[in-house]
Chains A and B, each alone.
Chain A
């Protein structure tokens, strides 16, 4: 649980993102606090994914500012002066994708170790020991030498989470990580995320799993039309929605 008086780990101010003339994010202010789980919900095309992808600069914002630990994020690889570049930012802010994006030419173990070895230049033995720990955590110890194409969707996504965690990030961004899964495989992935939340991992989670969001998130942001339309605790946003838009949106999940 976060304390609101502490300085946020990620701050977003006046964020805008356009593709040519199409404005997807129309001015977003957001704070993410250490240890906090923020769920981002909203209709398709509302800009949820774009917003979360701006946080590690996979999308470059058109306007506005992002700061990590008080350091301004700059659109270049190397950090410079007091500012932080995307190379350093991404060491601290990991991401898990809807379509897993595991490296098919590498085994599960190699997928997990790739970042720490190639990027962080950590010794292989150390990294592999940590990878084994992570594999235990996501329940895939027996798959260490398997190739991604031989795994189920749920297994792939758990490997992808382990790969992100191997970098020992301070923040984890999860972009609709269960949307591509068969319904019966969703639970195993959500279970891993619950575990992370329980361990105090700071996370921003774009999701369509409302029950899960209500359950695991400290705060919920409802994005609609490129702006944050509602922001508050899961209780207020999901269980007692104020606006009609949000009520209509949520009603579709209670069928």
Chain B
């Protein structure tokens, strides 16, 4: 017997999908903004000539890049409170973990961008008497920015999808709502298909934008 699709039952709960989508956007944008700040701090930390600072930054990067985000989420939500004796709300744990995770990847993207700029650029800037700070902000970073934009967008697309993991600590974002609607309607095929489509509809234009940016930069260089 062929499966009889019934989207109407599921779409009664459109407000849950809408709210979930909104939260997904909120967590994504929030963790990207905080992640970029963390990423820049850690990036400069790694480039520091002080061994202690670069070592610490490196350790941070490796811890967050080499453990699964899912494990990090559960650790910050279930384990950290035992250590510090204070309960952490699920939305705080979610935001914190997503940002720290994003920061570790962004820092490496930024660092790669800065290191990819030819040494001659630094020398030319120094030769016109710029300070190290001026060299970095006026000459290196503007060039690195262009170069890392595609990887940055790519990582942000991943970040958008990664927010689905915070459903395991009961944050009501899009994937969580799919599970809720499924529980109400016993229609997993429709519920999860709709959610998958929603993710796709948001992200497909973004990956296209990344390709476009990358292509345009190649032309102007």
Chain A residues packing against B (C-beta within 8 Å):
56, 58, 77, 86-88, 90-91, 94-95, 97, 99, 101-105, 114-115, 118-120, 147, 149, 160, 163-164, 167
A192–chain B nearest beta-carbon distance, Å:
18
- The CA-CA distance from A88 to B128 in the complex, in Å, is 10
Number of interface residues of B (CB under 8 A): 21
Contact flag A94-B142 (CB < 8 Å), given A99-B120, A101-B121: no
Contact of A167 with B128 in the complex, beta carbons under 8 Å: yes
Contact of A104 with B221 in the complex, beta carbons under 8 Å: yes
B129 at the interface (CB under 8 A from A): yes
By a CB distance below 8 angstroms, the chain B residues around A115 are: 128-130
A194–chain B nearest beta-carbon distance, Å:
22
By a CB distance below 8 angstroms, the chain A residues around B221 are: 104, 149
Give B119's nearest chain A residue, CB to CB.
A101
A9–chain B nearest beta-carbon distance, Å:
17
By a CB distance below 8 angstroms, the chain B residues around A103 are: 121, 124-125, 139, 143
Nearest 4 pairs between A and B by C-beta?
A115-B128, A101-B124, A101-B120, A90-B129
The contact string, 1 if C-beta is below 8 Å from chain A, for chain B 126-146, is 111111101000110011001
* B92-121 interface (Cβ within 8 A of A): 118, 120-121
Contact of B123 with A118 in the complex, beta carbons under 8 Å: no
By a CB distance below 8 angstroms, the chain A residues around B146 are: 105
By a CB distance below 8 angstroms, the chain B residues around A105 are: 142-143, 146
Chain B residues packing against A (C-beta within 8 Å):
118, 120-121, 123-132, 134, 138-139, 142-143, 146, 220-221
By a CB distance below 8 angstroms, the chain A residues around B138 are: 114, 118
Contact of B134 with A90 in the complex, beta carbons under 8 Å: no
- Supply 21 A–B pairs (Cβ within 8 Å), ascending by A: A56-B127, A58-B126, A58-B127, A86-B126, A87-B131, A90-B126, A90-B128, A97-B127, A99-B120, A101-B121, A101-B124, A103-B124, A103-B125, A105-B142, A105-B146, A118-B138, A119-B130, A147-B220, A149-B220, A163-B124, A164-B128
Contact of B123 with A101 in the complex, beta carbons under 8 Å: yes
A162–chain B nearest beta-carbon distance, Å:
12
B156–chain A nearest beta-carbon distance, Å:
23
Contact of A114 with B128 in the complex, beta carbons under 8 Å: yes
Contact of B134 with A118 in the complex, beta carbons under 8 Å: yes
By a CB distance below 8 angstroms, the chain A residues around B132 are: 77
By a CB distance below 8 angstroms, the chain B residues around A163 are: 124, 128
A23–chain B nearest beta-carbon distance, Å:
22
Contact flag A118-B121 (CB < 8 Å), given A104-B143, A105-B143, A105-B146: no
By a CB distance below 8 angstroms, the chain B residues around A99 are: 120
By a CB distance below 8 angstroms, the chain A residues around B142 are: 105
Knowing that A97-B120, A119-B134 touch, tell me 19 more A-B residue pairs with CB under 8 angstroms: A56-B127, A77-B131, A90-B127, A94-B128, A95-B127, A97-B123, A101-B118, A101-B123, A102-B124, A104-B143, A105-B142, A105-B146, A114-B128, A114-B138, A115-B129, A115-B130, A119-B129, A149-B221, A167-B129
By a CB distance below 8 angstroms, the chain B residues around A160 are: 124
By a CB distance below 8 angstroms, the chain B residues around A118 are: 130, 134, 138
- The CA-CA distance from A66 to B123 in the complex, in Å, is 20
